[in-house]
Amino acid sequence: MSTTGSVRRRPPMRRSATSAPRNTTAGTNGAGTADNVPATARATRTRPKENAALSYYLVLGSAGLLLLLGAVMVFSASTIEALDQGNSPYTAFAAQGRYVLIGLPLAFLASRLRVEWYRGLAWLILLATLAMQLLIFSPLGVEVNGNRNWIVIPGTSQTLQPSEFLKLGLALWLGTVLARKVRLLHDWKHVLLPGAVGSFAALGLVLAGHDMGTVLVMVALVAGAYFVAGLPLRWFAAAGVLGAGAAAFFITVSDSRTARVLSFLGHGGHDPSGLDFQSMHGLWALGTGGIGGVGLGASREKWSYLPEAHNDFIFAIIGEELGLLGTVLVLVLFGGLAVGMFRIVRRHKDPFVQITTAAIASWILSQALVNIGVVIGLLPVIGVPLPLVSAGGSAMISTLVALGVVLAFARTEPGAAKALATRKAVVSRSLAVVGRGSRRG
């Protein structure tokens, strides 16, 4: 008998229920449950599903804690100044609460919209925010400290900063146009049209109002969108050289910017009563705080020594009252926010979601880094708030809505919808059990 003949007569191998699985689908019955698979193997197999909603919870939790910390610190940092001006000590805190109460429902609504809605409305949102930015050149425009970047809402004394909403419009629009060109960005025409041209238009309108700090944040937003879209790195090198030249030009044509940069470089004599007043007092606040801080509400610098204590320099008050531990907590929370958004970029399958999330992440995180860099003396005074923490209306509302958009994207991550629904069902059953127990008692 030949060997080949014995092979032909050998009966086909049958896969029994007890045989070891050859792939991830083997070892399951018709209902999709494991048959005779060790518990450790089942736990390993289901672990990715358990983490599917991690991005959602990281963004939601980090943003919520930053918002809570910001509310407490705004109240602490603003009370003395308000009393000195003859106002209620709750003035700034009440205003901050009003902005949060406006922003949270908008963020919730944004988190419930479908991705297709954002993709379809991106052009309209960009045009609307560009039109709002143009209003700064109308009679509604308001100039503050040389920056014409606010408008007055007709019929009220309330001001609005259109550039904060333009950031969100630009992020959504770049996600839409670059998602169609991810395989075409090796061609300069597709790099410039329409993404770069539209970005330059938005940046130019903000720069025309002399708000260079916001322009720097928007540049980071655009860079983050193009990076995730796959733009070759040589483009970033060229843009960096041109951007540095443009920044130097705009600094030299403004006496205020020139003075601030020279003071930062050490040519201002470090006079704590002159241009260095704010920077020096911010550093003194951080140095006074030490490891554990002087105690919540016990800041000395907020007694009219540190300008913008509840706004651009609130990080200094956190360092003074809560010490190094408080500042590290802020950094950890922004780190959690970064991890959550970067997970969405990495795990999501839709290029529009990836690019838009990268743009929003670059906006919020770069603004936080710039603000903190100014307070600790690594950057000249620029004048951008700390997201979710500093006092401010337009910045707070736009940031909350942007994070609502990110949460909507996180809900559509692979496996996230099922994980969120399962968690909701578990919570509902737990509450039902607790309710029955309380009624029996």
| Residue 349: per-residue pLDDT | 93
Is 14 domain-assigned?
Answer: no
* Rounded (5°) CA angle 44-49-50: 85
Is 424 domain-assigned?
Answer: no
HSE-CB at 272 with a 13 A cutoff on CA atoms is 8
Cα–Cα distance, 196 to 173 (Å, whole number): 11
Is 398 domain-assigned?
Answer: yes
Is 334 domain-assigned?
Answer: yes
**Pair 359, 174: CB distance under 8 Å:** yes
| Residue 19: per-residue pLDDT | 39
pTM equals 0.85
End-to-end CA distance of the chain: 82
| Residue 381: per-residue pLDDT | 86
| Residue 33: per-residue pLDDT | 41
3-state secondary structure 295-306: CCCCCCCCCCCC
| Residue 431: per-residue pLDDT | 52
| Residue 4: per-residue pLDDT | 42
Cα–Cα distance, 361 to 354 (Å, whole number): 10
Q: Could you tell me the residue range of the domain that residue 260 belongs to? A: 64-412
| Residue 424: per-residue pLDDT | 65
Structural domains counted in the chain: 1
- The β-bridge relationship of strands 141-144 and 147-152 is antiparallel
Helix-then-strand count for the chain, H and E: 16, 3
| Residue 36: per-residue pLDDT | 46
Is 370 domain-assigned?
Answer: yes
Is 428 domain-assigned?
Answer: no
* DSSP symbol at 28: B
Low-confidence ranges of the chain (pLDDT < 70): 1-50, 267-275, 424-441
